[in-house]
Structure 1
Amino acid sequence: MHENNNNCIPRSVEWKETSISLLNQQKLPHETEYLELKTIEDVWDAITTLKVRGAPAIGIAAAFGLALSAADISADSLDSFHRQLNSQKDYLAGSRPTAVNLAWALDRLVKAAQKAISVNEAKTLLIHEAIRIQVEDEETCRLIGENALSLFKAGDKVMTICNAGSIATAKYGTALAPFYLAKQKDISLEVYACETRPVLQGARLTAWELLQAGVDVTLITDNMAAHTMKSKGITSIIVGADRITANGDTANKIGTYNLAILAKAFDIPFYVAAPLSTFDPSLDSGKSIPIEERNPEEVTHLHGVRIAPEGVNVFNPAFDVTPSELITGIVTERGILTGDYLSKIRNLFKEEAQYVES
């Protein structure tokens, strides 16, 4: 059992002035490898190949990547600099289409750089803004964890899927944040983690990081979820999100929708935990969310070994969309949304805009 302290909470991305230190999530749990990313191409590859994953962590990595690459831009005017910066932003934004944090972070950096009166100042502002995004995300995740923890009591058995933990964010995570805080406060919670086929983020990542912090975690395969809910007395489900639309529809890792339907069948609460940066009020509903489809080999192969017949057709969506009517509550850093998500989300963003302006 690991000691219960903040050092047991792993970090996925760190700024190193002339490079980015990145925990290679593809190597977990067998090897803890930190990559040194030095170019924008390194960052694009890390995002595309899931060396870094989790919507907030992707946004942080992309922000650092843009700041890193912009430092090498050679421009004799601000107009030239901004043209090259926007080209780099578009390149990184194309690495993954579903997680809204990616575009949000990149747009935020470009907006920050527009305040500069010189190229050198623009480069400095980009670095400062990227670091600010990471610092803010850590505090955001702590607040999400505190709000989510209010939903649980000692002895609860909570199920989750994929990895919405510390290595998917700056620290603490979203859906996993209450489990870290519960451990720190000596509140006993049991976590049941779905393995999350086909890339096994639950088995490789969630189980790994919760063990690091001494959290009581039990791993199950995805098709054991219903039986586990019934036989183990699961009290609630909490998941992360990659994009939440104006009406509360939520895109998250494939298999999340299954759990939401099961939660309704078993009459247990189903919670989504996500920061405001994961909301996309520009989309009316989940029907408009682009769903990334990934390499068929993720399904036909396991650790490089073929497990399916040659020539079989494969459908490999990385995400699904859970309709808002199946969601009991959406936990954010500003509180827990319930009921009429359309009006609640609209009001939340009005308040946020007023807060930013003030």
Structure 2
Amino acid sequence: MTTLEAIKYVRGELQVLDQLKLPHEFVYDNVSTCEQAFDCIKSMRVRGAPAIAIVAALALAVELEHKKDGRKCTTQKADTIKYINSKLDYLMGSRPTAVDLSNAIKRLKKKSAATAANSLTSDQTLACADIRLSYIEGAEKILEDDLTTNLAIGRYGAEYLRRQQMPVLSPVDDADSLRYFTTSPPGTQGAPDRTYRKLSVLTHCNTGSLATSGHGTALGIIRSLYKMNYLDTAYCTETRPYNQGSRLTAFEMVFEKIPSTLITDSMAGALFSRMKEEKNISAVIVGADRVARNGDTANKIGTYSLAVLARHHNIKFVVAAPTTSIDLFTESGDSIKIEDRAQTELMQISGAVVGKDGKVDVNNTARVAIADQRINVWNPSFDVTPHLLIDAIITEKGEVVRSSKGTFNFKSIMPERWREQVESSAESEATTNSSLGLQTSLSEEGTQFHMESI
């Protein structure tokens, strides 16, 4: 196995890596129906906001390629569109917090509807075939775009963090030379190179190749830091209760030989207090399942706590998110729906059995109880980090930093969506309010204008 792939796809065939069996086993599930995709997402055999959207989109593409939509849907345009929309609505229920999924669904519905509307042929069978092909190509484009997006996020994020570093003015001892890098100062051209300390970062949950089509978002930034020779150490949390950090992120970093260290979730404060200066811990980098318009970010439970600790220790807190994860319709994190998970995730754990000789037997797995099974459990899957605790949100369009007023503005990186989803909505609301105000004036005061405004 040369690269880590959570998703393998060729037209008409989709395979999804069962991440519940990692890091000891590589097992790919064939996903040929939307029902199988729903179960795959809900059970967290595939996870990560981008990967969820891709699997859902491609599962329906596989159905359409094999014409599983039935005879009526191959001969009537309206039935084909109805089938696509109903399947996408069904898939939306698999993981409602992940905005990438809802954005992908909106995008694919819009594309299918446009193809149907623009079809001029009188042959309904041919028109249905065009709609199916249009959907399939749209789903495949989501897969293609995700990798391009991740590489861009990695590059922008690495450069943002490099710019936060101050040059080292004193001579560097040869014995410590591997802890430094030399490059031109940020924003200069032709200036002499300067020496900088390599930086260390902490990440939470899993946001790498296993959560996306490849490279990753937050872990993608870490990959880019490592490839650019800027990275000292990447710390990863175990990420309780489902251990995506210890099972998946640790595995990815070991696989790619990235210098890394695993800690428990509760060790972050001690790490910052004791190791910040020695290891030049410069940032906490996390992904996002949903970013609200004001910058509030929903991510794996435990993210909020890390943001508070980072602020206390004067460490940058950075969110890595594609623009598809930014929800302009949701004004703040107060409106983000938080998913509750099963109690057993916190009370039980599965894994390969360790023999008396200390070796891991990957062919022998067991599920064990780690808590009294009678205790009540509260197990939210996500928390919301307030935008005031976030320093920068890195997207494939560039970085968006918190302003001096403590706000985020996404208009510059997504002007079309901003006009469509924010400004047009505001204009519509203003028109409605104006109309309501006019009616009130006419009914209550018997005149078209408020007299005090004349």
Shorter-chain TM-score bucket reads over 0.9
| Residues 63-82 of structure 1: pairs in structure 2 closer than 5 A | 63-71=57-65, 72-74=68-70, 75=73, 76-82=75-81
CA contact (8 A) 1:9 1:172 kept: no
Percent identity among equivalent residues?
39
Query: How much does 1:151 deviate?
Result: 2.8
Contact 2:402 2:408 in 1 (8 A): no
Check whether the contact 2:401–2:408 (CA below 8 A) recurs between aligned residues: no
What value does the CA root-mean-square deviation take over the aligned residues? 1.8
Q: CA deviation at 1:20?
A: 0.6
Are 1:348 and 2:413 counterparts?
yes
Further displaced range: 141-150 or 154-163: 154-163
Give yes or no for contact 2:156–2:399 (8 Å, CA) kept in 1. Answer: yes
The question of 1:179 aligning with 2:222 is answered yes
Alignment-derived partner of residue 106 in structure 1: 105
Letter in 2 for 1:79: A
Deviation of 1:78 after TM superposition, in Å, equals 0.7
Residues 200 and 232, structure 2, Cα contact 8 Å, conserved in 1: yes
Relative to structure 1, the CA distance from residue 353 to residue 122 in structure 2 (aligned partners, 3 Å threshold; closer, same or farther) is: farther
Structure number with bigger Rg: 2
Bigger shift: residues 100-109 or 255-264: 100-109
How far residue 354 of structure 1 moved from its aligned partner, in angstroms, is 8.0
Letter in 1 for 2:26: T
* 3-state SS of paired residue (1:345): coil
> What's the CA shift for 1:346?
3.5
| Distance across 2 between alignment mates of 1:346 and 1:251 | 20
Q: Residues 316-349 of structure 1, C-alpha deviation per residue, up to 9 Å, x if partnerless?
A: 0000000000001000111111124756124433
Find the partner of 2:42 among 37, 43, 48.
Answer: 48
Identify the residue that residue 429 of structure 2 maps to in structure 1: none
- 1:337 maps to which residue? 400
How much does 1:87 deviate? 1.0
Please list, as runs of the form range in 1=range in 2, the aligned pairs for 1:153-164 lying within 5 A after superposition.
153=162, 155-164=198-207
Correspondence for 1:147: 156
* Cross-structure match for 2:438: none
Q: Deviations over 1:23-60 (max 9, x none)?
A: 11111101111111121111111100111100001111
Q: What is the CA-CA distance between 1:144 and the residue it aligns to?
A: 0.4
Could you report, residue by residue, the CA deviation over 1:89-109 in whole angstroms, capped at 9, with x for unpaired residues?
Answer: 111110011000111112211
Alpha-carbon distance between aligned partners in 2 of 1:348 and 1:333, rounded to the nearest angstrom:
9
Structure 2: state its 5+ residue gaps: 120-126, 163-196, 351-366, 421-454
Q: Distance in 2 between matches of 1:342 and 1:231?
A: 31
Q: Partners in 2 of 1:184 and 1:347 — Cα distance?
A: 29
Secondary structure at 2:15 match in 1: strand
CA distance in 1, matches of 2:200, 2:229: 15
Q: How many residues align?
A: 349
Matches of 2:256 and 2:408, distance apart in 1: 38
**Cα displacement (A) at 1:182:** 2.9
Q: 1: CA distance between counterparts of 2:348 and 2:337? A: 25
2:40 maps to amino acid: A
Distance 1:127 1:179 in 2: 33
Aligned with residue 30 of structure 2, among 28, 36, 40: 36
Q: Structure 1's 37 and 350: CA in aligned 2 closer, same or farther, altered over 3 A?
A: same
- Note if contact 1:189-1:216 (Cα within 8 Å) is conserved in structure 2: yes
Q: CA deviation at 1:185?
A: 3.1
Instruction: Give the AA of the match of 1:171.
Output: G
Per the alignment, residue 323 of structure 2 pairs with 276
Counterparts of 1:126 and 1:184, CA distance in 2: 36
TM-score with structure 1 setting the length = 0.93
CA distance in 1, matches of 2:325, 2:241: 23
Higher relative contact order (CA 8 A, sep 6+): 1
Is the 1:24–1:34 Cα contact (8 Å) retained in structure 2?
yes
Q: Structure 1 residues 281, 353: CA separation in 2 closer, same or farther (over 3 Å shift)?
A: closer
Alignment match of 1:13 (pick from 7, 11, 29): 7
Change (3 A) 1:202 1:342: same
8 Å contact from structure 1 (residues 247, 285) kept in 2:
yes
Partners in 1 of 2:48 and 2:308 — Cα distance? 23
Paired residue for 1:135? 144
TM-aligned CA deviation for residue 353 of structure 1: 6.4
Conserved 8 A contact 1:9-1:212: no
Runs of 4+ in 1 over 6 A off after TM superposition: none
Query: What is the alpha-carbon distance in structure 1 between the residues aligned to residue 236 and residue 36 of structure 2?
Result: 31
Give the structure 2 partner of residue 3 of structure 1: none
Cα displacement string for residues 71-96 of structure 1 (whole angstroms, at most 9, x for unaligned residues): 41122211111111111111111001
Question: Partner amino acid for 1:73?
Answer: D
TM-score, structure 2 normalization: 0.74
Counterpart of 2:254 in structure 1 is 211
Corresponding residue number in structure 2 for 1:247: 294
Contact (CA 8 Å) 2:12, 2:61: kept in 1 or not?
Answer: no
2:388 to 308, 312, 325: 325
SS in 2 for 1:176: helix
Partner Cα distance (1:343, 1:191) in 2: 27
